[in-house]
């Protein structure tokens, strides 16, 4: 943005940066078009880095921007070492990395190891020449009855995980679309190829990879072909290479699995795997709790979450480029969530809901604020989804997940300031619905209004970044007399570099004002409560650890617990 006049701090050395970071998922294609092509590009994103620095994000996650026929938003890769020409060139990508680094922003890209596009030269060679060097690069079979215990993930489009290839006259295995054949990880040459790809991008300066669809790398008869020991062995080898050759870079697992399975992707002390894993089950519970107006679903899912190994962190999120997945909730919870959040069948996709954050919450500012307050204070490093900071809408008349991948809305001008192209040539139309029209919902307008959602989100990120307790501190649910109130503490014991801090977070999930008495543990009794946002007049915690608070509808407090021997 013009006139932001920001200092360029550069990257600070901090091996545990990811534990305190706020991530921001941005589709290159959707953010800013610098060339008038109708699709976003690297230079467009570079031009908007000042905005992202101003917003206060620490790391960008870029979904695939590699050569691809784009039949699955780029998750169908045709060349792992080439960028899609419409996005720019490799030198423009490296310029993006260095410009982001100059602003103190790291970059994590997507690594899709499980499968390629059927247009990838490896697949073309594999189908044409079974005896050739790529003949064994994919999972081929004469029949389609193997691995029958593996579920189908894209239930809207696929009827089998096997598809017959008329060229090779065999079936090939695919966990996702039938144009995305799975690579054969049993083949050491496939594993070597992945190491080579990791080195290629790390040599260009990226700070890590999100490992797409990582539970599905290996297959084994008689299992559901998810989370297999061989997958973990491969990841441990990959991590060892990264630690050895690229210390400080991270691996972030995308494993849409229950927490007890996901935690295995952190690896063990002797064989670490990923520094971060997305925590899928907590996300739908936030939405569930908002409608049920009860804290228990969030408490339960966090109680089911094993402790983090040292030096690791959860990745949390409210929305992303996919449907809001409901794979990790019970059938009863799923039915309730479809009823609350996807009353029109068009809003559904696979096992989930293809809507953005603001429309999901019917554009309710108190609910949008509360759910942000939760994701920014619960354990984990939050990942925001581009456009949600201004409350962008979606378009359920577009197909599949394109509903939530429309151009970023910068201004009320043509194409929302995203592109100068003829509107008919945009990769997807900008949102022009009644409530979310880009005339009203755009960065320029929200920058001009200090009461906007954009300024509010930025303020929240500023507060979070001033308090490392949110990234590093222990998390404990504390008892409350009101089941609509979720209360928890974050406590950082502190060391030579980071001071002690304790914060009490109190969230009213109800649409009505509520009061609750909260029971803090003995070591936090008798403390003064100081509002992190500058509010005043809070009661002290009594000597028995109790404090009674009243909260407005969907209200929340972040209260520093001051006055213990340890924090003066």
Q: How far is the CB of 183 from Ca ion (least distance, A)?
A: 7
Q: List Cβ neighbours of 418 (8 Å cut-off, separation of 6 or more).
A: 31, 32, 33, 40, 407, 408, 409, 410, 426, 430
Collapse the DSSP code of 333 into the 3-class scheme (helix H, G, I; strand E, B; otherwise coil) and give the result.
helix
CA distance 73 to 68: 9
The binder of 75, among ligand LLGJG24Q, Ca ion, none, by C-beta within 5 to 8 A per type, is: ligand LLGJG24Q
3-state secondary structure of 92: helix
Check residue 162 for interaction with Ca ion (CB under 5 A).
no
Is 72 a binder of ligand LLGJG24Q (CB under 6 A)? Answer: yes
Using CB under 5 A, count the residues that bind Ca ion: 3
What is the C-alpha to C-alpha distance for residues 522 and 545, in angstroms, rounded to an integer?
6
- Binding pattern to Ca ion, positions 202-231, x when CB under 5 A? --------------x---------------
Give the nearest distance from C-beta 280 to Ca ion in angstroms.
Answer: 19
Give, as one character, the DSSP assignment of residue 384.
E
Cα-to-chain-centroid distance, residue 130: 39
Contacts to Ca ion from residues 101-140, by CB under 5 A: 114
> CA 507, CA 558: separation in Å to the nearest integer?
9
CA pseudo-torsion sign 270, 275, 278, 282: positive
Q: Which H, E and C letters describe 173-205, residue by residue?
A: ECCCCCCCCEECCCCHHHHHHHHHHHHHHHHCC
Nearest approach, Cβ of 133 to Ca ion (angstroms)? Answer: 20
Phi and psi at 513, nearest 5°, equal -60, 145
Q: Which of 25, 182, 212, 226 is an active site residue?
A: 212
Q: Decide: is 176 part of the binding site for ligand LLGJG24Q (CB under 6 A).
A: yes
Left if phi > 0, otherwise alpha if psi is -120 to 50, otherwise beta: which for 39? beta
Three-class SS of 253-300 = ECCCCCHHHHHHHHECCCCECCCEEECCCHHHHHHHHHHHCCCHHHHH
Pick the binder of ligand LLGJG24Q from 42, 66, 75, 138 (CB under 6 A): 75
30 binds ligand LLGJG24Q (CB under 6 A): no
Considering only 112, 277, 383, 485, the residue that binds ligand LLGJG24Q (CB under 6 A) is 112
182 binds Ca ion (CB under 5 A): yes
Q: Say whether 254 is catalytic.
A: yes
246-305 residues near ligand LLGJG24Q, rule: CB under 6 A: 254, 256
State the nearest-atom distance from the C-beta of 223 to Ca ion, in Å: 12
Q: Which is nearer to ligand LLGJG24Q, 176 or 288 (CB)?
A: 176
Q: Which is nearer to Ca ion, 114 or 507 (CB)?
A: 114
Q: Sign of the C-alpha dihedral, residues 432, 434, 436, 438?
A: positive
Q: How far apart are CA 502 and CA 534, in angstroms?
A: 16
Q: Does 123 bind ligand LLGJG24Q (CB under 6 A)?
A: no
Binding site partner of 112, from ligand LLGJG24Q, Ca ion, none, Cβ cut-off 5-8 A by kind: ligand LLGJG24Q
Per CB under 6 A, the list member of 50, 58, 207, 212 interacting with ligand LLGJG24Q is: 212
Query: Which residue stretch of 176-184, 385-393, 482-490, 503-511 sits at the interface with Ca ion (rule: CB under 5 A)?
Result: 176-184
Give the nearer residue to ligand LLGJG24Q in terms of CB position, either 72 or 118: 72
Binding residues (CB under 6 A) for ligand LLGJG24Q: these are: 72-73, 75, 112, 153, 176, 212-213, 254, 256, 321-323, 325, 327, 350
The catalytic residue positions are 212, 254
Binding residues (CB under 5 A) for Ca ion: these are: 114, 182, 216
């Amino acid at each position: 943005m013009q006139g932001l006049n920001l200092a360029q701090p550069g990257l600070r050395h901090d091996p545990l940066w990811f534990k305190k970071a706020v991530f921001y998922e941005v589709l290159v294609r959707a953010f800013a078009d610098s060339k008038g092509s109708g699709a976003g590009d690297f230079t467009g994103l570079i031009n908007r880095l000042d905005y992202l620095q101003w917003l206060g994000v620490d790391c960008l996650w870029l979904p695939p921007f590699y050569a691809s026929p784009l039949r699955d938003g780029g998750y169908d890769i045709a060349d792992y070492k080439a960028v899609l020409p419409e996005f720019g060139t490799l030198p423009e990508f490296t310029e993006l990395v260095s410009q982001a680094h100059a602003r103190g922003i790291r970059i994590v890209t997507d690594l899709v190891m499980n499968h390629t596009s059927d247009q990838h030269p490896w697949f073309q060679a594999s189908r044409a020449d079974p005896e050739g060097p790529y003949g064994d690069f994919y999972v081929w079979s004469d029949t389609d009855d193997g691995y029958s215990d593996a579920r189908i993930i894209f239930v809207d489009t696929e009827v089998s995980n096997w598809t017959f290839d008329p060229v090779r006259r065999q079936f090939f295995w695919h966990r996702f679309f039938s144009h995305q054949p799975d690579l054969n990880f049993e083949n050491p040459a496939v594993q070597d190829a992945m190491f080579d790809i990791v080195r290629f991008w790390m040599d260009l300066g990226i700070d890590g990879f999100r490992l797409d669809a990582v539970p599905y790398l290996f297959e084994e008869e008689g299992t559901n072909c998810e989370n297999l020991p061989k997958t973990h062995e491969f990841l441990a080898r990959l991590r060892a290479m990264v630690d050895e050759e690229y210390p400080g870079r991270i691996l972030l697992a995308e494993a849409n699995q229950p927490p007890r399975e996901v935690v295995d992707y952190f690896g063990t002390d002797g064989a670490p795997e990923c520094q971060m894993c997305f925590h899928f089950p907590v996300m739908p519970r936030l939405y569930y709790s908002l409608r049920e107006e009860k804290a228990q679903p969030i408490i339960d899912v966090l109680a089911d979450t094993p402790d983090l190994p040292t030096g690791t962190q959860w990745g949390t999120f409210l929305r992303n480029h996919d449907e809001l997945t409901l794979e990790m909730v019970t059938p009863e919870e799923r039915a309730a969530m479809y009823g609350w959040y996807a009353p029109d069948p068009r809003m559904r996709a696979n096992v989930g809901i293809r809507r953005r954050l603001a429309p999901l919450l019917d554009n309710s500012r108190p609910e949008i604020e509360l759910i942000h307050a939760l994701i920014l204070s619960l354990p984990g490093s939050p990942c925001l989804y581009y456009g949600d900071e201004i409350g962008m809408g979606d378009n359920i008349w577009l197909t599949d997940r394109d509903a939530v991948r429309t151009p970023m809305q910068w201004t009320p001008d043509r194409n929302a300031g995203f592109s100068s192209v003829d509107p008919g040539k945009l990769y997807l139309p900008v949102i022009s619905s009644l409530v979310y029209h880009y005339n009203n919902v755009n960065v320029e307008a929200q920058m001009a209004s200090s009461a906007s959602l954009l300024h509010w989100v930025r303020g929240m990120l500023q507060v979070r970044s001033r308090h490392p307790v949110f990234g590093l501190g222990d998390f404990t649910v504390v008892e409350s007399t009101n089941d609509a109130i979720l209360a928890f503490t974050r406590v950082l014991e502190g060391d030579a570099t980071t001071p002690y801090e304790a914060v009490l977070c109190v969230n009213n999930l109800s649409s009505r004002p509520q009061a609750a008495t909260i029971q803090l543990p003995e070591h936090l009794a008798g403390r003064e409560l100081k509002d992190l946002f500058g509010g005043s007049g809070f009661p002290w915690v009594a000597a028995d650890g109790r404090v009674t608070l009243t909260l407005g509808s969907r209200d929340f407090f972040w209260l520093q617990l001051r006055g213990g021997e340890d924090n003066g």
